[in-house]
A and B are shown apart, each in its own frame.
Chain A
């Protein structure tokens, strides 16, 4: 036990006292020992508990835009995800501290960049808890008892109520059972794995998957690119393993192994489940419109006009009228004259209205074109419409025998997993706020710990309330949008920090080192650092450029993400600068507050 001896600073001759001897014992003056308990399995279950829960919301929202290319979009986003995961593996194995990208940034750059990364991560956590609880309630609505949650206002209200409850539980110091979490992560893994196997046997249809993609038309390029950015929500929790680094036994080995395992399993699940979903609920076209009857001339019809366009005209809704596709599919208008024909294939079609023997209106359209001006129509898959809030339950719903039971189980499991994920997010906020407080990145009030419950209650309260405010005006697509904004920023910082660390500290011990590096062959000075002969990991470089490009897409084409993200980041920076100035601290230097412990002398 050499460290213990060194810790006491006790001379060897005083180890055995003799009668009459005075005892001189200097109490050790060092930080407490930390007992680390997580191995590869524990880290994997934490990572998969977070990442595996993302599919319950990411599938629907991605399919809404990506349509038939959803599996492909997951593969493309997955490439960025893999690069990011391995960047975290190198950084975390070298610097096994909680904080992930924030810790890398501190060493790779300075305290300000570290704060920026931590604040972006905080935004991630806030949106993660918002999106997780919102989707959890979506799965709860699958049960008849909770069917009222299909009404948006109840959905939002119930989500906010649950978040408040979790907030109070976390302030009081919820005794999270890691055994229960691991158990549900295992249930989740088995259920998703079984769904992939059974789904491949019953549903998977490669021909359907291929024929529903028509590049540039279904989907069009703009929503395709949009879907790429929104698909990053699929990898919510990628940093969770990294953030548990300080609790890992032999993190230099266990972290890369756990990350690699998570990457492999998550990619299989995403590609498998999305392919099955698109086989079961393939992409179709739908057309909707209204039929009106002229009051004065009842035989005259006005077709495809919206109610607002008909205002002031001498017409009434034509209820109970036949509307049909020439190839057979027929519907009847409702009391408002509205009709909707779905499951229309790719090609030219004709819609007829009125008496089948003698139709009065005939409209032809061609949905193989980018724009179909003749009708109000759109391409859709039920994964992104009917089942957008609970897409995995949607797949189970289509299982021919016992589908209802499977869907029941999946809805229940998804609800529990997502609530656990929400709770993990709140705990992430707690830990991160506390750490930021100790590094003087935020005012002490935010990191203040409750005297009785030993939890940072101010941070938990403020950031959970922000999450509730984000949910109130939102739906699943807006929440995914907001998540992408913060997450991509965090990932970009992680990539550039790991690259910066290669330049600043090339000799740093890296138990896991990214392979495939480019060596800078010429003199290239940035500040006091010469990049010549420095090794830059290619995956981090590509990952960094990729995540930053997608972030630019999010920042410039999405609405809700920047609406939430820009004020949050701006407020954070202003608060950081003001706080540091008030304390007389440099913006870029690390100032860690350590609790002072007395040195005890007993004689």
Chain B
């Protein structure tokens, strides 16, 4: 199935750079448009449209870095900050609105005893996404 648009959901964790790189490689191969979104989970104690300057600044910074990585691949990503009650719903809804063919989400390596457990966001996206999903996990450093 051709991939014409990729939605990359980024945050301020170490996996973001690797996530964008992997996604951009696919985008380059598939000649796909790239959308990078940062989701600010608004606590229920605030209105959904609450304007928190610190979150805007953080989001802008993360998006700047992610966009810079994408530009290394010669891509012109569109970036956006999304406010949602939960990151998972924000990502899936945005993918649906954009008509994205692929969602790329990241998860951080957390070596633990026992099986690896996805976080609630990755779980939600895997469960509800209307399109293909890739999950990128960063390498475990020795």
Contacts and interface: CB of A to CB of B under 8 A. Distances in A.
Contact of A455 (B45, B47, B51, B85): B45
Interface string B22-62: 00000000000001000010011111111111111001100
A118 to B, nearest CB: 13
A32 B46 contact: no
B76 A15 contact: yes
B67 A25 contact: yes
B47 A449 contact: no
B49 A34 contact: yes
A141 interface: no
A456 interface: yes
Nearest to B86: A37
B79 interface: yes
Interface in B72-104: 74, 76, 78-86, 89-90, 93-94, 97-99
Interface stretch (A148-156, A189-197, A431-439, A500-508): A431-439
B49 A595 contact: no
B-side interface mostly: mixed
A36 B76 contact: no
Given A17-B76, A595-B56, A600-B60, A33 B48 contact: no
A178 B120 CA distance: 14
B58 to A, nearest CB: 12
Most buried by A among B40, B49, B53, B54: B49
A35 to B, nearest CB: 4
A31 interface: yes
B83 A173 contact: no
B46 A35 contact: no
Contact of B47 (A37, A98, A170): A98
Given A8-B78, A37-B85, A247-B85, A31 B49 contact: yes
A19 B86 CA distance: 40
A4 to B, nearest CB: 6
A32 B45 contact: no
B127 interface: no
Contact of A460 (B45, B52, B81, B89): B45
Contact of B48 (A247, A451, A600): A247
B45, B60, B74, B79 interface centre (most CB from chain A within 10 Å): B45
Given A430-B46, A435-B47, A438-B51, A28 B76 contact: no
B12 interface: no
Interface string A33-61: 11111000000000000000000000000
B105 to A, nearest CB: 15
A33 B78 contact: no
Contact of A37 (B35, B45, B54, B89): B89
Q: Which of A1, A430, A454, A455 gathers the greatest number of chain B CB atoms within 10 Å?
A: A454
B46 A431 contact: yes
Nearest to B92: A35
A27 to B, nearest CB: 7
Given A1-B98, A600-B60, A454 B67 contact: no
A335 interface: no
A19 B51 CA distance: 39
A14 interface: yes
A357 to B, nearest CB: 72
Contacts of A239: none
A449 B43 CA distance: 11
A170 B45 contact: yes
Contacts of A174: 44
A33 B82 contact: yes
Give the top 6 A-B pairs by smallest Cβ distance, nearest first.
Answer: A35-B84, A430-B45, A595-B51, A32-B81, A455-B45, A35-B90
Given A4-B80, A27-B79, 14 more contacts: A23-B71, A23-B76, A32-B40, A33-B82, A35-B82, A174-B44, A246-B47, A427-B45, A434-B45, A434-B47, A449-B52, A454-B46, A594-B51, A602-B64
5 contacts: A15-B76, A27-B79, A37-B84, A454-B45, A455-B43
